[in-house]
């Protein structure tokens, strides 16, 4: 929405960007509208006749007296179903004033409800002639009224191409300005004739008129959201549908959208029906980037708008223009319908009678739109409302942090306190928070402070305090007149989000913010669910498209305030901005260690560009106020073998550039939200540079300068719990704790814990010995580590690093198993030497009971207390282990901590393999605790169980190549392979057990006869739990390992197959998965698919949506070629693999729709898309270079046309896919050379 928000700057919005010099101010813009749009028309006078009724003939309708140019600019009501006579509304005024006066009387003046069908002609057309046949039949006036419901009006709107060189300007203006002039006039004219009735709108636009309508809807949508430009009216929230007749929506092949817009303009004015300004056309052609931006804007605002795209099937022979390409006359969207009319371009807008096939089709679309104008509040709608609200919910950490429970009752006074340590205007002003709550001119309040200073506690108090709501009500009522207060008083809604870096992906991301706010709003106002998610109110649930995507959630938020901005006011409390993380970040590097080296070169072996982020030291992440940032450590590499080296720390917590970018993005999001007049935001964060820059001049409270009294009282309360009345004699001690803490409540809490462990007589002495900061080589955290015994320090180091490497916070049992490692201790091996040396083997021989698991959990929780110095804690839900504060996590990541403690920390390989073993061992006993396989809605694994499988594969991906090649001594190849083999065996047994124990429904009479044996023989990887679509079909565990990019494991397992035929068969089966993400697509339904595990945690990534490592294809092809195959039809398999590879590429090179839309769900969407593109190119090159590809083979391409496909050669499909992709220009040249070589070597390779 960048262009729209820049437009808001020149419309008077709250943007800091200066208006472009070539854009006039509002007064000049109105003058340009008058000069460009309202050109003088010659008077047109005929005899006056009264209005006509429905039964009137065509001839008497044509004899109406109209003192205006029928093809002039402005709106003209052709049919008014709100009046008794239902005739043409006119006014006896001069033609030069039509827009302002001719229709002013058409509104009935009351709050009538009905539908206005608005027709907008194309370039060079007219509001009557565009819709009229040669013998004068104007179908919107003469035919359509008979087919409309009561209380419907038909409005035609005319426009003239503005003069690119207005008389008041010496230089031509730009296309953006001219387009805005036209679309703004459309909005204002429709607002004027509506007269406050708020009637629903259905647009019918022809050719370039569709571009005008799209721009008007996008602009007025933002004007509603941000409360600007009231003169534009409310056409966006009133629009219930749009029909585009031959309008270009996207480029096609080598033709840009700008070039197609010119073509459409020429088609609009063909056969002498209009004149075009060539300079205007030139400007349109040069504005391709702007047109693409407008396309994206309309796609955003029209997600829930029913849209019909009509395409012509006949050519127009005029001025060299023939026909608008079918592929560009539509666009992808969940509410977009495409239809073809057997007409030329002009014929799409002209119909002779009601029996015309095109008219019949068009009226059918109009009828459907008029029936969808209001959502019916049915029982089914109420059920769907609950399903949508439930889908938005996640653990929002609303419960108070354990460490700060004692502080809740003593922190209220901080919000109104004053201190002298403010650093700028608006800092620590007395009563600033209370004033902000009521002030309509100040949208943001910033609560800032050092780490551990109690910002979250204060935010929770501010949100839950009844006084906060009372003061916000004054803001809600400000600027509202007394009559409006009584009738339509805006309603206040409040929502709170507490970001949590140590939590799951959704708890620290944009998705979490949007889901949390929407969940809280819609829980309070469930009747708004149809407003936010109209496209999801009907149809199956789960829906046929992904639901919890940032695009969908952003659009829902947008829809809410675009349609309800007059009746709602929202105040959001967002805590922990510094804990926000971009979706693209550390996980890809953590999962694939080999990518870290590739990023340094900018490309990997698959040809894709790496992330621009480098692995900087985490010590540089925060500023000096964190007490953890030590600049001297930045870039140190003295101990490269340590787990907490610079690169390792960067890949776990995130490099400093990535974190800084995360902070910049969340600050930008806050500022964007603050541009809305009906939104207030109270935010809390550390005092980091991105926030200091973004929130300059914003009123704020610096918490750490206000908490001394609070900490003193907290210390007294803790002393009184030990010995009642003790605080009276120890008041100096309490005051000294507060002074020494420097406002750091977390430091105070840990310090008091240490005081309580010592002698009461030596409290002050103990306090004086404590460091005054949390982090650093001499901080309180280091004192905690040093106070442990050597054995406890070793245990703490291992536990800390296991949690740091875990994909998601582990539960207590998984942590306990990983803590034990993967090799059975000698004592256990001696007790049962026949079992083996791996812990997974001993678990198989001696399974755990529920009581055993409970005991293991209790023991690990006790170890956290004794060995980890309270730096870890368990969450309330799921007993997952996390760091008690972000500062604790930052501290243990520092390599200097462990060097100073003289401890050797576990290597990354050792921890990852231990996590593999620990997770597999937990999965072995998973059925003891939970359900592994569910029968609803069909037999498949539960999302939680599948999520743990994905964790194992991601740990394996980190170490796969190093272990297989023997480049690490921490773990052997045999151990690694045995662990993955055991995972396969464990889940196959779990699947077969579930099938044997399954009790079929009473009406499932064919279970044992038809289903039981096939399901029992099936492989478990075929039954991934799906939220959307069918489970991917896989050829055993090796195909899943291939999708997980376990190159070393797959290549090793294939090499161990002795029989040539078997090895070649397996390699050919796997080749399907190496060249296309979906793999065996012969079993898929062609629709989108999404794993249900993604709903459990945002860190999950579907394996079947990404192209595998580019090395798989050459490996498998070489394997097949090296084998002496007998009885295997290689030709058929080669054709199938080649076809799958060709079809797999286009979705990755299309910006919208297809698989690219699903890729946007993954946490690394941007880098994932780039990597998929590179890997697809690598697969194509491998197939061509090895003779497995026929560049001349004809393939049906259905990617650009929903109504059917066209046959293309393989070489043409490759060229169309890669043309225009600058980053792959070199690869395209190489592929073309390979095609030539294949053609010379064998004209028909396959």
pLDDT block averages, 10 residues each, the chain of length 1246: 43 38 38 37 33 36 48 84 54 33 36 80 87 88 87 89 57 70 84 78 92 87 63 75 90 79 83 65 79 81 85 73 78 82 88 87 87 57 82 67 51 56 52 86 88 81 87 82 59 88 76 89 87 80 76 80 78 90 54 40 40 34 34 32 38 58 86 83 89 88 76 74 65 74 73 68 68 73 83 90 90 94 88 85 89 91 83 75 82 80 85 95 88 84 91 92 75 90 94 90 84 92 83 90 93 91 90 81 52 66 81 91 74 85 81 39 60 89 86 74 64 83 84 84 54
pTM assigned to the model:
0.66
For 833, residues 6+ apart whose C-beta sits below 8 A from its C-beta are none
Chain center to CA of 1011: 39
Q: How many residues does the chain have?
A: 1246
Residues 805 and 872 in one domain: yes
Does 82 fall in a domain?
A: yes
User: Where is the domain boundary, 898, 929, 960?
Assistant: 929
**What pLDDT was estimated at residue 381?**
72
Does 646 fall in a domain?
A: no
Q: What is the pLDDT of residues 1042-1078, one digit of tens each?
A: 999 999 999 999 999 988 888 988 998 899 899 988 7
Name the residue with tokens 């007064």: 27
Strand partners, 447: 684, 701
Read off φ and ψ for residue 499, nearest 5 degrees.
-70, 145
Residues 761 and 819 in one domain: no
Residues 577 and 680 in one domain: yes
Check: CB of residue 956 under 8 Å from CB of residue 1044.
yes
**What pLDDT was estimated at residue 1106?**
82
For 883, residues 6+ apart whose C-beta sits below 8 A from its C-beta are 502, 803, 871, 872, 873, 889, 892
Residues 763 and 857 in one domain: no
**What pLDDT was estimated at residue 293?**
81
Residues 998 and 975 in one domain: yes
- Rounded CA-CA distance 748/763 in Å is 14
Residues 756 and 840 in one domain: no
Does 366 fall in a domain?
A: yes
Residues 447 and 523 in one domain: yes
Residue 179's CATH number: 3.40.50.1820
Peptide bond just before 937 cis, omega within 30 deg: yes
Does 449 fall in a domain?
A: yes
Q: Which domain holds residue 182?
A: 2-371
Does 607 fall in a domain?
A: no
Does 756 fall in a domain?
A: yes
Residue 485's CATH number: 3.40.50
User: Where is the domain boundary, 907, 929, 951?
Assistant: 929
Residues 62 and 17 in one domain: yes
Residues 881 and 949 in one domain: no
Strand partners, 933: 941
- Rounded CA-CA distance 1166/1147 in Å is 14
Residues 359 and 332 in one domain: yes
Report the domain count for the chain: 5
- Rounded CA-CA distance 417/700 in Å is 12
**What pLDDT was estimated at residue 355?**
84
**What pLDDT was estimated at residue 379?**
65
Residues 306 and 390 in one domain: no
Q: CB neighbours (10 Å) of residue 959?
A: 23
Residues 719 and 789 in one domain: no
Check: CB of residue 960 under 8 Å from CB of residue 1048.
yes
Does 588 fall in a domain?
A: no
Check: CB of residue 218 under 8 Å from CB of residue 4.
yes
Check: CB of residue 221 under 8 Å from CB of residue 560.
no
**What pLDDT was estimated at residue 479?**
64
Listing DSSP states for 15-73 in one string gives --SPPPTTS--HHHHHHHHHHHH----------------TT--HHHHHT----S-TTSS
Name the residue with tokens 């007294």: 716
The phi-psi region of residue 109 (left if phi > 0; otherwise alpha if psi is between -120 and 50; otherwise beta) is left
Does 938 fall in a domain?
A: no
Q: What is the pLDDT of residues 767-788, one digit of tens each?
A: 766 776 777 677 788 888 888 8
CA-based radius of gyration for the chain: 34
- Rounded CA-CA distance 1164/1171 in Å is 10
């Amino acid at each position: 929405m960048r262009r729209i928000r820049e437009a808001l700057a020149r419309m008077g919005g709250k943007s800091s960007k200066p208006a472009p010099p070539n854009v006039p101010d509002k007064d000049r813009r109105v003058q340009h509208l008058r000069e460009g749009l309202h050109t003088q028309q010659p008077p047109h006078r005929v005899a006056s006749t009264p209005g006509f009724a429905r039964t009137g003939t065509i001839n008497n309708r044509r004899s109406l007296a109209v003192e205006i140019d029928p093809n002039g600019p402005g709106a003209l009501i052709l049919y008014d179903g709100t009046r008794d006579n239902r005739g043409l509304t006119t006014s006896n005024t001069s033609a030069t004033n039509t827009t302002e006066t001719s229709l002013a009387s058409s509104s009935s003046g009351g709050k009538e409800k009905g539908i206005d069908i608005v027709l907008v002609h194309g370039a060079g057309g007219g509001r009557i002639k565009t819709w009229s046949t040669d013998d004068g039949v104007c179908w919107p006036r003469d035919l359509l009224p008979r087919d409309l419901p009561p209380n419907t009006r038909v409005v035609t709107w005319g426009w003239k191409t503005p003069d690119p060189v207005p008389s008041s300007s010496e230089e031509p203006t730009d296309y953006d300005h001219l387009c805005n002039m036209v679309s703004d006039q459309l909005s204002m004219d429709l607002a004027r004739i509506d007269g406050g009735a708020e009637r629903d709108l259905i647009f019918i636009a022809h050719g370039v008129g569709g571009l005008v309508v799209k721009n008007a809807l996008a602009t007025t949508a933002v004007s509603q959201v941000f409360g600007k430009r009231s003169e534009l009216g409310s056409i966006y929230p009133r629009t219930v549908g749009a029909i585009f007749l031959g309008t270009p929506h996207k480029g096609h092949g080598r033709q840009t959208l700008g070039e197609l817009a010119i073509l459409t303009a020429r088609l609009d004015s063909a056969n002498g029906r209009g004149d075009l300004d060539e300079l205007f056309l030139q400007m349109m052609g040069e504005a391709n980037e702007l047109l693409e931006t407008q396309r994206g804007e309309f796609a955003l605002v029209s997600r829930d708008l029913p849209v019909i795209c009509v395409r012509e099937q006949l050519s127009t022979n005029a001025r060299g223009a023939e026909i608008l390409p079918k592929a560009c006359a539509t666009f992808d969207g969940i509410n977009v319908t495409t239809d073809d009319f057997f007409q030329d371009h002009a014929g799409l807008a002209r119909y002779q009678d009601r029996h015309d096939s095109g008219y019949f089709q068009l009226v059918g679309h109009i009828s459907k739109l008029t029936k969808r104008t209001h959502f019916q509040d049915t029982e089914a709608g109420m059920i769907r409302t609950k399903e949508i609200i439930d889908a938005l919910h996640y653990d929002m950490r609303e419960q108070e942090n354990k460490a700060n429970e004692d502080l809740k009752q003593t922190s209220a006074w901080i919000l109104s306190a004053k201190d002298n340590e403010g650093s700028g205007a608006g800092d620590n002003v007395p009563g600033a928070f209370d004033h902000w709550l009521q002030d309509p001119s100040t949208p943001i309040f910033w609560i800032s402070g050092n780490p551990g200073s109690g910002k979250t506690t204060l935010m929770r108090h501010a949100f839950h305090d009844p006084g906060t709501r009372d003061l916000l009500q004054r803001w809600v009522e400000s600027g509202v007149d007394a009559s409006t207060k009584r009738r339509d008083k805006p309603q206040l809604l409040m929502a709170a989000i507490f970001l949590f870096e140590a939590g799951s992906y959704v708890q620290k991301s944009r998705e979490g913010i949007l889901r949390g706010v929407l969940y809280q709003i819609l829980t309070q106002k469930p009747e708004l669910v149809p407003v936010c998610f109209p496209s999801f109110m009907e149809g199956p649930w789960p829906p046929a498209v992904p639901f919890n995507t940032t695009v969908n959630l952003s659009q829902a938020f947008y829809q809410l305030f675009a349609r309800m901005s007059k009746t709602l006011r929202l105040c959001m409390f967002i805590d922990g901005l510094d804990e926000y993380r971009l979706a693209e970040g550390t996980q890809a590097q953590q999962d694939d260690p080999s990518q870290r080296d590739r990023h340094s070169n900018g490309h990997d072996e698959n040809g894709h560009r790496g992330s621009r982020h480098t692995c900087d030291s985490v010590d540089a992440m925060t500023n000096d106020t964190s007490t953890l940032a030590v600049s001297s450590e930045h870039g140190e590499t003295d101990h490269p073998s340590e787990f907490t080296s610079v690169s390792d720390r960067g890949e776990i917590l995130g490099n400093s550039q990535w974190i800084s970018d995360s902070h910049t993005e969340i600050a930008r999001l806050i500022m964007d939200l603050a541009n809305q007049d009906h939104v207030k935001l109270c935010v809390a964060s550390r005092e980091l540079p991105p926030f200091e820059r973004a929130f300059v001049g914003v009123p704020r409270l610096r918490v750490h300068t206000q908490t001394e009294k609070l900490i003193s009282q907290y210390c007294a309360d803790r002393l009184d719990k030990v010995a009642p009345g003790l605080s009276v004699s120890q008041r100096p001690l309490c005051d000294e704790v507060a002074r020494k803490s420097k406002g750091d409540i977390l430091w105070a809490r840990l310090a008091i814990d240490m005081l309580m462990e010592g002698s009461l007589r030596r409290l002050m002495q103990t306090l004086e010995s404590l460091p005054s900061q949390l982090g650093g080589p001499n901080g309180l955290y280091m004192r905690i580590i040093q106070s442990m015994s050597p054995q406890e320090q070793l245990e703490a180091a291992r536990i800390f690093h296991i949690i740091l490497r875990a994909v998601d916070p582990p539960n207590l049992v998984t942590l306990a198993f990983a803590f034990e490692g993967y090799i059975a201790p000698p004592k256990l091996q001696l007790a049962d030497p026949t079992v083996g040396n791996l812990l997974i083997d001993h678990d198989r021989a001696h399974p755990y009971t529920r009581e055993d698991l409970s005991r293991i959990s209790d023991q690990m929780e006790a170890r956290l207390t004794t060995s980890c110095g309270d730096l870890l804690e368990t969450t309330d839900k799921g007993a997952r282990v996390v760091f008690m504060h972000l500062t604790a996590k930052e501290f243990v990541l520092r390599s200097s901590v462990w060097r100073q403690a003289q401890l050797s920390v576990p290597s990354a390989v050792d921890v990852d393999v231990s996590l593999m073993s620990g997770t597999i061992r937990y999965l072995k006993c998973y059925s003891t605790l939970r359900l592994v396989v569910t029968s609803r809605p069909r037999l498949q694994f539960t999302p939680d169980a599948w999520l743990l499988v994905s964790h194992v594969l991601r740990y394996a991906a980190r170490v796969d190549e190093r272990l297989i090649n023997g480049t690490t001594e921490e773990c052997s190849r045999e151990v690694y392979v045995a662990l993955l083999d055991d995972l396969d065996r464990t889940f196959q047994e779990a699947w077969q057990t579930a099938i044997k124990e399954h009790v079929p429904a009473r009406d499932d009479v064919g279970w044992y006869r038809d289903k039981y044996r096939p399901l029992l023989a099936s492989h478990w990887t075929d039954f991934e739990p799906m939220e959307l679509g069918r489970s991917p079909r896989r050829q055993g565990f090796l195909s899943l390992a291939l999708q997980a990019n376990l190159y070393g494991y797959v290549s090793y397992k294939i090499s161990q197959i002795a029989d040539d035929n078997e090895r070649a068969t397996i390699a050919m089966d796997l080749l399907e998965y190496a060249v296309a993400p979906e793999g065996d697509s012969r079993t898929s339904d062609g629709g989108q698919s999404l794993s249900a595990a993604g709903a459990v945690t945002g860190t999950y990534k579907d394996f079947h949506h990404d192209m595998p490592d580019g090395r798989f294809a050459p490996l498998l092809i070489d394997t097949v070629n090296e084998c002496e195959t007998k009885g295997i039809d290689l030709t058929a398999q080669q054709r199938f693999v080649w076809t799958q590879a060709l079809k797999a590429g286009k979705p990755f090179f299309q910006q919208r729709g297809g698989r690219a839309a699903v890729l946007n769900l993954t946490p690394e969407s941007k880098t994932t898309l780039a990597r998929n593109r590179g890997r697809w190119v690598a697969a194509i090159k491998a197939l061509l270079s090895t003779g497995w590809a026929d560049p001349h083979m004809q393939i049906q391409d259905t990617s650009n046309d929903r109504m059917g496909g066209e046959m293309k050669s393989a070489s043409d499909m490759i060229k169309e896919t890669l043309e225009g992709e600058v980053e792959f220009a070199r690869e395209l040249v190489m592929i073309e050379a390979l095609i030539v070589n294949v053609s010379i070597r064998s004209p028909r390779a396959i």
